[in-house]
Amino acid sequence: MQETEKNLLQTLERIAKLLSSYGSFDSILKQVLHVIETEAGLKDPAITILNFSSSLRPKDKKREELEKKYKPPLKDKVPFNGSTFLISPIRIEGRDIGFISAIAEEKDVREEVLSFLSFVGSLIGFSFFVLAKEKTEVKNVGNIIFRSKQMDEVIKLALEVAKSDATVLIRGESGVGKELLAELIHNNSPRKSKMLVKINCAAIPENLLESELFGYKKGAFTGAITDKKGKIEMADGGTVFLDEIGDLPLPLQAKILRLIQNKEIEPIGGQPKKVDVRIISATNRNLEELVKEGKFREDLYYRLNVIPIYIPPLRERKEDILPLVEFFIEKFNKKYKKNISISKGALTILEKYQWYGNIRELENLIERLVLTSSDLVITPDDIPDYIKEKIHEEEKRKKEEPEEVLPSKREKKAEENKKKTALQEIFEKLEISDSRGLLSLIEDIEKKIIENVLAESKNISDAARKLGISRRQLEWRLRKYKIEFLNYGRKSSFQK
Ligand SMILES: Nc1ncnc2c1ncn2[C@@H]1O[C@H](COP(=O)(O)OP(=O)(O)OP(=O)(O)O)[C@@H](O)[C@H]1O
Ligand SMILES: [Mg+2]
C-alpha cells in the first residue's frame, strides 16, 4: 500500500474513534479538524454545519466565495491559490446539513484524498443521525441538569412551590444538589429581586451563630462597637436558606421558631423587629431521629417541614450520570481552555459506580480528569483505581446474592449490547488493518452503515431517504454488497 494511503487510513481510524467517543459534538468536531490537519496534512480544514452553535471555519474571503458557490455542496476539488480546494457535503436523511472543506498544498491531488475528506463528511453526518436519535431529552433548568423522571418531578414540585411563600424543607444525601434547588426556588419566586441569604448552620461556630443570624446592638457585648445587621434582616423581602438545619443548636431553634411564627427577630441587646422572609431549609440528617433524641424541637420540625422535597441520590437515577458528565466536561473545558472528550469505555465505568458523594463527587472527578488528561480523550485507564475497585466489590457482592435476583447472563449481555450506539457497533465489527486499501475499507463501512439503516427502515425508499441517496442508488449498492432486505417477513433479494 502507498504511504499516503496508509496514512489516510490510520487517520480515518482515529477519526472514527473520536466520533464514537462521548462528549459534546462541538468539541469532538474540533478534535476531528485537528486530526485532519496534523495527521492527514490538509490545511485549514473546516466543518460548517448549518444551524449549529459554533462555526468551525477559518476566515478567508476567497474561500468563502468558493464554499458559497458549491452550496448545496457537491463533492469536488478545484484549483485555489496554487493549491487545491476540496469540499464535500455532510448529509442526514437526505438533507444537506453542511459541508467539510480543506486545502491540499499540491496542484494535483490524488483521488484518495478527496475520498478521504468525503468519507469523513459521511461519518460526521451519520454520527449526527445516530446522536439525534439516541438523545432523549436532557433538561437544564436553572443549571440543574437531568433526564430522569425522579428529577423531573422534583423540579416540577419546586417550580410550583416557588410561586408561594410556603416554607420548604429540602432533604437528600450530601452532594445531591440541595443548595442548587434552593436557588432555583428563590429565583423563580416573587422574591427573586431581593436577596437569597445562605446560612450554613454547621459551619459557623455556635457562639457566633446567633449574632450572624440576628445581628446585635451597639454595646450589646464587648467588641460590639456599632450596630450590626444579622443575615436574616439582610434577607428582608427575600429568602433565607438555612443549610444543615439539623445542626442548629437548641437555643437558636427557639429563635427560628419565633421568626416563623411571629415574623420577628430580636438582635442581641436590641428590640424585636418585624422581618419578611421566606424560609427554605435543607439537611442530610435524619431529623425525625434527632427529634426522638431530643436534639431537634418537634414544633420547629413541623413548621419547617410544610413542603418537604426529597432529592434522590445519583445512584438511584443513573440516567442523569451521562448528561451530567457531558455538562461538567463542557464546563471544565471552558474553564481550563481544553478540548477533552470521554470514551464510551470510561463512561460505562462512571455509570456503574455508586457515587456515594453524589453530584459533587462526580463534578470533582471530572474537573480533575479534564485538568490532568494529557490526551484528548479520557479513557478507562484515566479513571482512578478506587472507583474500579468499588465497582468490582459491588459486583462481587451482587453475585453472592440469591441467584433469582440477578438477571441471567444472557439477558445482561443483551442489555449491554442495546446500550451501544449503532456507530460503535459498526466500528467494533470492522477490523481495520494495514493490509487493505482505503477504498475497500470505505466500502466495508458503507456496507455496515447501509445494513444498520435498513434494519430500522420500513422499506427501501425509507432507507434511501435516511441515507441521503436515491432509491436506485441504494438498490445498486444492495446488489453490489449482496445485502438482502427483509420486509415484514417477506424476503426481497437483490442478489444476482
Ligand atoms: N443536577 C445537577 N446539575 C448540575 N450540577 C449539579 C446538579 N446537582 C448538583 N450539582 C452540583 O453539585 C455540587 C453539589 O451540589 P449542592 O451543593 O447543591 O449539594 P448539596 O445537596 O447542598 O450538598 P451538601 O449536603 O454536601 O451541602 C454543586 O457544585 C452543584 O452545582
Ligand atoms: Mg449544601
Question: Given this model, what pLDDT does residue 196 score?
Answer: 97
Question: Given this model, what pLDDT does residue 297 score?
Answer: 96
Binding site membership of 175 for ligand 1 (Cβ less than 6 Å): yes
Which atom of ligand 1 approaches the CA of 320 most closely?
A: 1
Instruction: Supply the Cα-derived Rg of the chain in whole angstroms.
Output: 30
CATH of 422-492, one of 3.40.710.10, 3.40.50.1100, 1.10.10.60, 1.10.10.10: 1.10.10.60
Q: Could you tell me the residue ranges of all domains in the chain?
A: 3-134, 149-314, 317-400, 422-492
pLDDT over threshold 80, residue 43 = yes
The chain-wide mean pLDDT, for the chain, equals 84
Give the tens place of pLDDT for each residue, 139-151. Answer: 899 999 999 989 9
Cis omega (within 30 of 0) on the bond before 89? no
Place of cell 487517520: 11
What is the topology classification, in CATH, of domain 149-314? Rossmann fold (3.40.50)
Give the tens place of pLDDT for each residue, 11-32. Answer: 999 998 888 776 677 778 888 9
pLDDT classification of 481: cutoffs 50, 70, 90 = confident
Top pLDDT among 170 and 21 is at 170
Query: What is the pLDDT averaged over residues 122-135?
Result: 74
Binding site membership of 16 for ligand 1 (Cβ less than 6 Å): no
Question: Given this model, what pLDDT does residue 460 score?
Answer: 86
pLDDT over threshold 90, residue 178 = yes
Question: Given this model, what pLDDT does residue 181 score?
Answer: 98
CA 96 to chain centre: 27
Top pLDDT among 369 and 94 is at 369
Q: Closest Cα to atom 29, ligand 1: which residue?
A: 360
pLDDT classification of 68: cutoffs 50, 70, 90 = confident
Place of cell 459557623: 204
Give, in order, the Cα–Cα distances in Å from 208 to each of 123, 165, 211.
62, 28, 6
One-letter amino acid for residue 214 of the chain: F
Q: Which of the given ranges, 5-14, 452-461, 482-491, has the highest pLDDT on average?
A: 5-14
Query: What is the pLDDT averaged over residues 39-67?
Result: 74
For strands 307-310 and 278-283, give the pairing. unpaired
Q: Which three cell numbers stand for residue 409?
A: 447472563
Ion ligand 2, residues whose Cβ is below 5 A away: 179
Binding site membership of 171 for ligand 1 (Cβ less than 6 Å): no
Give the tens place of pLDDT for each residue, 236-248. Answer: 999 999 999 999 9
pLDDT classification of 64: cutoffs 50, 70, 90 = confident
Give the tens place of pLDDT for each residue, 187-225. Answer: 999 999 999 999 999 888 888 899 999 999 988 888 888
- Ranking 54-58, 179-183, 203-207 by mean pLDDT, the lowest is 54-58
Binding site membership of 4 for ligand 1 (Cβ less than 6 Å): no
pLDDT over threshold 60, residue 489 = no
pLDDT classification of 135: cutoffs 50, 70, 90 = low
pLDDT classification of 426: cutoffs 50, 70, 90 = low
pLDDT over threshold 80, residue 331 = yes
d(CA 243, CA 349): 32
Residues 89, 92, 94: CA angle, nearest 5 degrees = 80
Which atom of ligand 1 approaches the CA of 175 most closely?
A: 23
Give the tens place of pLDDT for each residue, 73-124. Answer: 677 888 888 899 999 988 877 777 888 999 999 888 888 899 999 999 988 8
Question: Given this model, what pLDDT does residue 363 score?
Answer: 98
For strands 168-171 and 278-283, give the pairing. parallel
pLDDT over threshold 50, residue 496 = no
One-letter amino acid for residue 155 of the chain: I
Q: Does domain 3-134 have CATH number 3.30.450.40?
A: yes
Handedness of CA 289, 290, 292, 298 (dihedral sign): negative
| Other CB atoms within 10 Å distance of the CB of residue 106 | 10
Q: Closest Cα to atom 16, ligand 1: which residue?
A: 177
Architecture of domain 317-400: Orthogonal Bundle (1.10)
pLDDT over threshold 50, residue 472 = yes
Say if CB 99 and CB 89 are below 8 A apart. Answer: yes
Q: Angle between the 344-352 and 321-335 helix axes, to the nearest 10 degrees?
A: 120
d(CA 171, CA 154): 11
pLDDT over threshold 90, residue 329 = yes
Question: Given this model, what pLDDT does residue 428 score?
Answer: 53
For the chain, percent of residues with pLDDT exceeding 70: 84
Query: What is the pLDDT averaged over residues 297-325?
Result: 95
Distance 181 CA to ligand 2 centre (A): 10
pLDDT over threshold 90, residue 436 = no
Say if CB 196 and CB 278 are below 8 A apart. Answer: no
Question: Given this model, what pLDDT does residue 425 score?
Answer: 52
d(CA 386, CA 116): 42
Q: Which three cell numbers stand for residue 105?
A: 498544498
Question: Given this model, what pLDDT does residue 441 score?
Answer: 66
Query: What is the pLDDT averaged over residues 26-50?
Result: 87
Query: Which class for 352: exposed (0-12), middle (13-18), buried (19 or more C-beta within 10 A)?
Result: middle
Question: Given this model, what pLDDT does residue 116 score?
Answer: 92
d(CA 318, CA 327): 15
Say if CB 33 and CB 117 are below 8 A apart. Answer: no
Q: Closest Cα to atom 18, ligand 1: which residue?
A: 177
Top pLDDT among 80 and 426 is at 80
pLDDT over threshold 70, residue 445 = yes
